[in-house]
Structure 1
Amino acid sequence: MDNAIHTLLQAMWEDYLELAPDARSIHDLFAASNNGNVVNDHIALRTYSLPEVNLAVIARAFTDHGYIEGGEYEFPARKLFAKHFQHPNPELPKVFISELLVEKLSEQAQQHITALVDQVTPDATQSPLFCCSGRPWQLDTQTYDELLAESEYAAWVAAFGYRANHFTVSINHLSEPDTIVDLNHLLQKHGYILNDTGGLVKGSPDVLLEQSSTMAKKVTVDFTDGTREIPGCFYEFAKRYPTGDGTLYQGFVAASADKIFTSTHTKAE
């Protein structure tokens, strides 16, 4: 494996664990019954569409190491656009990168986001570890609240910056549980709170992908004028089904991903 991409993925995992309090224990729960083998299906990243930090900028850390585009996805109601990237080495996780279409927001929200991104130095985005570097700007609670009133996604990126929004357990690589329903039951039995937007299971064998996720637990975030507890990162679970040629489907389903986005929401949708 390319040492540089391995270093990046490990750094992203360690950073993510700090914002996903349940992830380590869930990972260990599955590792215990699968000989320590828990495979990551994909990692998700969020950003804004402004040219300094847009999807293409975030993707560079991966495309520089052999990742190629695998699909495009639109979420008109959330004003989001996304692409996924995959590597010829099937052992490497897919990467799902979404961006908020800032030009579709209110003038006030656009001004807030532009002011945040103006604080990002060109050198920062050139770093191969930018996508797990955290928040590259100063943020006060009023700006956060005003963004939150318009877009949960906008507020999350403002508060957390650049890091994995979630990692994903590949159910296909688990010997047990081997169905998403059994996996969800196991997690609930252990007291984990799951995202029930549109039902616990998003997708179906008919669309070749089933997904579920925990709800992000609140973590303490520092603002320039104090601290606040807000939802951090979550853990996702994916079961893929074979396409007509017998290979597992490698893409994503926009209708399902749309519901997964609510895993970091501060209020019910």
Structure 2
Amino acid sequence: MERVEQLFNHLWQDYIERLCPSADQVHDLLTEDEPLLNDHIALRTFNLPRVGLDVLAAPFIAIGYKPCGTYHFEAKKLYAEHFEHPNPAAPKVFISELLVGQCSSLLQQTVRSLIEQVPEQAMKDPAFLYGGRLWDVDFATYELLAAESEYAGWLAAHGFGANHFTVSINQLEQFTEVAEVNHLLEHNGFAINKSGGEVKGSPQEMLEQSATMADRVPVAFLDGVREIPGGFYEFAKRYPGEDGELYTGFVAASADKIFESTDS
């Protein structure tokens, strides 16, 4: 587990410093006697050979993770997989990729020109997972991509890193419901993602989720620094199946709405 903890510590530091500084405050707000349990993280990429989902999954597989589920988001042109570690205390990993070939030729050309800047050697060191952007991009290119695909714009601007961590509500003592956590956060000035309802999923689907709206964070573009949506914090409550074990998968319809936490 030591290698797992090391990797997630690096991902967490990058996440709270660069993508979602408010997560540190939310973390403090919810922490009780025991450290918070992280249900899962999510990573984004493009389905291009140098940077595809398999490339992002490789460092996790090297430390014991196994693929456990596949998901399709047709409207957003995304494909995703989730990975689990044999140790149930290790966070799950949800990796999605934009199906670039299904997008406009302008988006395809633009994204390919960004990815051509990535040194192949950079993707061989697991540190790329929390290394941010491996290409240069100007603000107009970000806007162009975001106009067609918010996901593409976000990824072009921020590069690699966890766009969210997820508090497991199952281990909290003070709260048992997602709605209670949402209420506490709103009371403390955090905006909740209301797309598809404040609580996404249901006990019948064995997973309920909610998320804050993404922090606005400064990003250095070729032509100056601009503030754009960064990362967000998610909250998940899992329900037991007939075997009494907590459900470990994801609900595509809920995940679809969670993606919208980074919408401008």
Instruction: Tell me whether the two structures share a fold, i.e. TM-score over 0.5.
Output: yes
TM-score scaled to structure 2, two decimals? 0.98
| Partner SS state of residue 235, structure 1 | strand
Partner of 2:55: 57
Query: What amino acid is aligned across from residue 240 of structure 1 in structure 2?
Result: R
Partner of 1:204: 202
Q: 1:215 aligns with which of 210, 213, 216?
A: 213
Deviation per residue, 1:189-224 (Å, 9 max, x gap): 111100000110000001000000000011111100
Deviation per residue, 1:87-120 (Å, 9 max, x gap): 0001110000000000001000000100010011
Query: What amino acid is aligned across from residue 29 of structure 1 in structure 2?
Result: L
Q: 1:68-107 maps to which residues of 2 (within 5 A)?
A: 68-107=66-105
State whether residues 30 and 36 of structure 1, in contact with CA within 8 Å, keep that contact through their aligned partners in structure 2. Answer: no
Q: 1:133 aligns with which of 126, 131, 134?
A: 131
Q: Does 1:17 align with 2:16?
A: yes
Identity in percent: 55
State whether residues 37 and 174 of structure 1, in contact with CA within 8 Å, keep that contact through their aligned partners in structure 2. Answer: no
| Partner SS state of residue 41, structure 1 | strand
| Partner SS state of residue 143, structure 1 | helix
Structure 1, unpaired ranges of 5+: none
Distance 1:230 1:125 in 2: 26
* Aligned-pair CA distance for 1:4: 2.5
Distance 2:98 2:81 in 1: 12
Deviation per residue, 1:109-138 (Å, 9 max, x gap): 000100010011111100011110100000
Distance 2:137 2:5 in 1: 31
Distance 2:140 2:189 in 1: 34
Partner of 2:7: 8
Q: CA RMSD in A?
A: 0.7
Runs of 4+ more than 6 Å apart:
none
Distance 1:6 1:241 in 2: 25
Query: What amino acid is aligned across from residue 12 of structure 1 in structure 2?
Result: L
State whether residues 4 and 90 of structure 2, in contact with CA within 8 Å, keep that contact through their aligned partners in structure 1. Answer: no
Q: 1:253-264 maps to which residues of 2 (within 5 A)?
A: 253-264=251-262
* Aligned-pair CA distance for 1:37: 2.3
Distance 2:3 2:157 in 1: 28
Partner of 2:178: 180
Distance 1:130 1:226 in 2: 24
TM-score scaled to structure 1, two decimals? 0.96
Q: 1:91-170 maps to which residues of 2 (within 5 A)?
A: 91-170=89-168
* Aligned-pair CA distance for 1:232: 0.4
| Partner SS state of residue 129, structure 1 | helix
Structure 2, unpaired ranges of 5+: none
Query: What amino acid is aligned across from residue 63 of structure 1 in structure 2?
Result: I
